[in-house]
Amino acid sequence: MTARVNLLPIALQGHRRQRQRRHMWIIVCLVAGVVQAGGFFVLDMKAHEARNAKTRAANLTQSLKQEKGERDALLAKSDALNRELRTAERLREKHLWSRWFGGLGLVVPSQVVLTEIKTEPTRFTGAAAARSNNDGEGDADVRIVRVSGEAAEHPDLLSLIEQMNAARMFRSVHLEQARRDHVRGKEAIGFTLMCEW
């Protein structure tokens, strides 16, 4: 084996070793700095993503609250419109009845007096009343209207039946009953007409 001989002065050799150690520590510190900087960068990115996710969640929560408020407002408006519609339908039904009464008043001869008008079934009794109160459709069950009154003579009664049939207020108008009575000290013909829709 060959012996290695170093002819450099010891001071220079020590100085060289110190410089090599310094270079090694500088490299170690640079590597550690790069690793720490990389870790900080990754953590900062994750924190930024977390902040963005939190902001998006807050925006979505606010949007959901706003949409829920709009939906509740639309539901309230829909309920109000449904109530108005039901009221309008009830008023329309009442208006049709009032128009029917007005039309009946126009065809009744002057020598005839109407004393009673009844529907069958009676609108405001039993199940029909419950339906009428719930949805305003009680009139849909009325199929027959009975009209009672007094006529001075038979021709007056026949004239009333002809006028009602000509006005086409009903599908058919039939004489159900006619009898001669004394009304308020005078002789008259009491009658009942059956009108069918």
Whether 165 contacts 173, CB under 8 Å: yes
Going residue by residue through the chain, which has 197 residues, state the pLDDT in tens, using 9 for 90 and above.
566 666 667 777 778 788 888 889 999 888 988 888 888 888 888 888 888 988 999 999 998 999 999 999 999 999 999 988 887 776 666 657 777 888 888 889 989 999 998 888 765 544 444 444 444 444 456 678 899 999 989 999 999 999 988 888 788 888 999 998 876 778 889 999 998 87
The CA-to-CA distance between both ends of the chain, in Å, stands at: 134
Structure-token pair, residue 139: 């009139």
List the beta strands (DSSP E) in 25-143. Answer: 112-120
In this prediction, residue 11 carries a pLDDT of 76
Helix, strand, coil shares, percent, the chain, to 5 = 65, 20, 15
What string of DSSP letters covers 129-190? HHHHHHHS-GGGG--EEEEEEEESSHHHHHHHHHHHHHHTSSSEEEEEEEEEEEETTEEEEE
Amino acid identity of residue 48, one-letter, is: H
Domain segments of the chain as ranges: 9-91, 108-196
Half-sphere exposure of 177 (CA within 13 A, CB side): 10
Question: HSE-up of 70 (CA within 13 Å, CB side)?
Answer: 6
